[in-house]
Amino acid sequence: MQQDVSLDKLIITIARTVLGFVVFFVTLFAVPIYNEFKNNDFVLAALVEKKDAVIGEAIIKIEIADSKEERTKGLSNKQYLENGNGLLFIFDDLDFHGIWMKDMNFPIDIIWLDSSLQIVDFKENARPASYPETYKPNKKALYVLEVPRNFITRNFLKIGDQMTVL
């Protein structure tokens, strides 16, 4: 009888320990994943609603390209992009998103940003004559920001700088 009670207590202790580990690991992995999705939704909502951002020391008015058609068209066929303006491509997933200069009429700077709007790579002075070359980042990105040529240099931007939605 005494042995049965000890065995029951041992089984209960093991079950609680296993359950504790399961809860720990679910929390460990689920919370960062949830926060990632929550942050992306917040960033998306803020961008769509406000459309103004700060990157480096510049405030820019952002136009959004979040559909496949808008991303494919980009700034094609426009005659210029005014200083203080940019086009933000919003992709569905983190990837090495390529940008081309098809039907472009002016050079631009291209900035790749991760899910937290941190710069992961950039290309300065991408020229229309470079088409059909496709520019791709060295790291995966969720967003691509196209801005007027020399924007990166004028604002002393570097990898790791953060874009903030106003």
- pLDDT band per the 50, 70, 90 thresholds, residue 57: confident
**What is the number of structural domains in the chain?**
2
Q: What is the CATH number of the domain that holds 60?
A: 2.60.120.1140
What integer pLDDT is reported at residue 139 of this predicted model? Answer: 97
Q: Please report which confidence band the pLDDT of residue 38 belongs to, taking 50, 70 and 90 as the band edges.
A: very low
Q: Counting beta carbons within 10 angstroms of the beta carbon of residue 146, is it exposed (0 to 12), middle (13 to 18) or buried (19 or more)?
A: buried
Mean pLDDT of 25-35: 50
Closest by alpha carbon to 134, among 107, 98, 105?
98
- Shared domain for 45 and 68, answered yes or no, is no
Tell whether pTM > 0.75: no
pLDDT score recorded for residue 77: 83
User: pLDDT grade, residue 14 (50/70/90)?
Assistant: confident
Pair 156, 124 in one domain: yes
DSSP line for the chain: -HHHHHHHHHHHHHHHHHHHHHHHHHHHHHHHHHHHHHHHHHHHHHHHHH-EEEETTEEEEEEEE-SHHHHHHTTTT-S---TTEEEEEEEEEEE---EE-TT--S-EEEEEE-TTSBEEEEEEEE-GGGTT-EE--SS-EEEEEEEETTHHHHTT--TT-BEEE-
Higher pLDDT, 17 or 22: 17
Residue 2 belongs to domain spanning: 1-50
- Pairing relation of β-strands 163-165 and 52-55? antiparallel
User: Does residue 42 share a domain with residue 60?
Assistant: no
Task: Give per-residue pLDDT as tens, 110-140.
Answer: 999 999 999 999 999 999 999 999 999 999 9
Q: Are residues 20 and 94 in the same domain?
A: no
Longest dimension (CA), the chain: 90
**pLDDT for res 13:** 78
Output the six-digit token pair for 110: 């291209």
- Per-residue pLDDT band at 50 (split at 50, 70, 90): low
- 138 versus 30: the higher-pLDDT residue is 138
